[in-house]
Amino acid sequence: MYLERVFKLVADKKMSGKTIKDILTEDFEMSSRLISKLKLGNGIVVNNRKRYVNTVIHAGDEIVITIPAEHSDNIVPNFLDVDIVFEDEDILVVNKQAGVPVHPCQGNYYSTLANGIMYYWMNQGKSYVYRPVNRLDKDTSGLMIIAKNQYAHQQLANQMSHKVLKRTYIAFVHGVMEKDSGTIDAPIARKPNTILERMISSDGQKAVTHYQVLMRFKNYTKIEVMLETGRTHQIRVHMKHIGHPLIGDWLYGREDNNFMNRQALHSFRLEFLHPVSKEPLEFMQDIPIDMKRLEAGI
């Protein structure tokens, strides 16, 4: 079942005299691209009659906005043990396992988070477009948000760009860090002749990472990391840049099979406003067992 997202409201005095487009732009902060989709079908209904964006609204008018249903036809539903942390009609928050890619990719079209979530929705008799908001590397574990409609995705993307959506990670890095906290402000660019690897470069995109030491061990350090920007491999590149690459990071450090077989990085906390209700939300997820072993010094 393809699900539409329906918003119903009664216009108040502040809306009186505005057009539908004014209300959608100012009150809903809806993008022009999404507004254009509402022109199809019964996207805009006022007092039980189909209307257009230039319709002038009066106090007491009953407005129904319907975002069309969509479906990710290119993603094959396939069972995956997805750890659901929270779900409502607009968002899904999951605790992603390490080793699971976020998207289907060359060599893996069926065993990704996308396949697992599409299977989960299919079993509920529902269908949505797969829209991850914050993306994690294959071997990074932890919290991710999936938007279930275009409006929710747009609102959360805006929160990310305006630094309202806050992402906090736990990481273990090589070496004993001297400073208790710090900020790394170093632009990141794609490394020449490679699709995957990134590097610090003066002509790269601005990238800012804040960190705080949580615990020091004999040869490594546990830190909390907060992203101000969200560049590909940002934490991994920045920690290498200051001489403390992540434990287990084969691309930016070295393989550490004695410690971990993946980079020691976990999306620990997400803080944001619900995309529709604007209620403050906070989710936390403890580090998985492989990182707990590091913490225990095993």
Q: What is the pLDDT of residue 106?
A: 82
**How would you classify the pairing of strands 5-10 and 280-284?**
unpaired
Q: Is the pLDDT of residue 2 over 80?
A: no
Confidence of residue 169 (pLDDT cuts 50, 70, 90): very high
Q: What is the pLDDT of residue 133?
A: 96
Per the structure, the complete domain to which residue 41 belongs is given by: 5-67
pLDDT tens for 236-277 read: 999 999 999 999 999 999 877 677 889 999 999 999 999 999
Task: Kindly state the percentage of the chain with pLDDT values over 70.
Answer: 98
Strand partners, 45: 50, 64
Strand partners, 64: 8, 45
**How would you classify the pairing of strands 91-96 and 141-147?**
antiparallel
Find tokens 């899904």 and name the residue: 92
Phi and psi dihedrals of 233, rounded to 5? 60, 25
Residue at 93 is within a domain: no
Are 248 and 264 in contact, with CB atoms under 8 Å apart? yes
Q: Which two tokens stand for residue 74?
A: 């290119």
pLDDT tens for 179-204 read: 999 999 999 999 999 988 999 999 99
Confidence of residue 107 (pLDDT cuts 50, 70, 90): confident
What average pLDDT score do residues 199-219 get? Answer: 96
Are 186 and 241 in contact, with CB atoms under 8 Å apart? yes
Residue at 230 is within a domain: yes
**How would you classify the pairing of strands 131-132 and 141-147?**
antiparallel
Confidence of residue 105 (pLDDT cuts 50, 70, 90): confident
What average pLDDT score do residues 286-296 get? Answer: 94
Quote the number of domains for the chain. Answer: 2
CA 280 to chain centre: 16
Residue at 100 is within a domain: no
Q: What is the pTM of this model?
A: 0.92
Phi and psi dihedrals of 119, rounded to 5? -65, -45
Residue at 57 is within a domain: yes
CA 155 to chain centre: 12
Q: What is the pLDDT of residue 195?
A: 86
What is the C-alpha R_g of the chain?
A: 22
Helix then strand then coil, in percent of the chain rounded to 5, is 15, 35, 50
Confidence of residue 7 (pLDDT cuts 50, 70, 90): very high
Q: What is the pLDDT of residue 257?
A: 65
- Domain harbouring 24, CATH code: 3.10.290.10
DSSP string, 62-116: EEEEEEPP---TTS-------EEEEE-SSEEEEEEPTT--SS-BTTBSSSSHHHH
Residue at 233 is within a domain: yes
- Domain harbouring 204, CATH code: 3.30.2350.10
Residues in contact with 262: Cβ distance below 8 Å, sequence separation at least 6, in sequence order:
98, 99, 139, 140, 248, 290
Q: What is the pLDDT of residue 113?
A: 97
What average pLDDT score do residues 94-105 get? Answer: 95
Cα 138 from Cα 119, distance rounded (Å): 19
Within the chain, residue ranges assigned H as helices are 20-22, 32-37, 113-123, 150-161, 234-241, 289-295
pLDDT tens for 29-51 read: 999 999 998 887 789 999 999 99
Q: Which of 90, 137, 139, 256 is catalytic?
A: 137
**How would you classify the pairing of strands 141-147 and 265-273?**
parallel
Residues in contact with 16: Cβ distance below 8 Å, sequence separation at least 6, in sequence order:
57, 58, 59
Residue at 248 is within a domain: yes
Q: What is the pLDDT of residue 4?
A: 86
- Residue 139 annotated among the catalytic residues of the structure: no
Among 49, 67, 85, residue at a domain's last position: 67
Q: What is the pLDDT of residue 259?
A: 72
What average pLDDT score do residues 18-38 get? Answer: 93
Three-point CA angle 185, 186, 188, nearest 5°: 135
Q: Mean pLDDT of all residues in the chain? A: 94
Q: What is the pLDDT of residue 3?
A: 76
Q: What is the pLDDT of residue 254?
A: 80
Residue at 99 is within a domain: no
Residue at 281 is within a domain: no
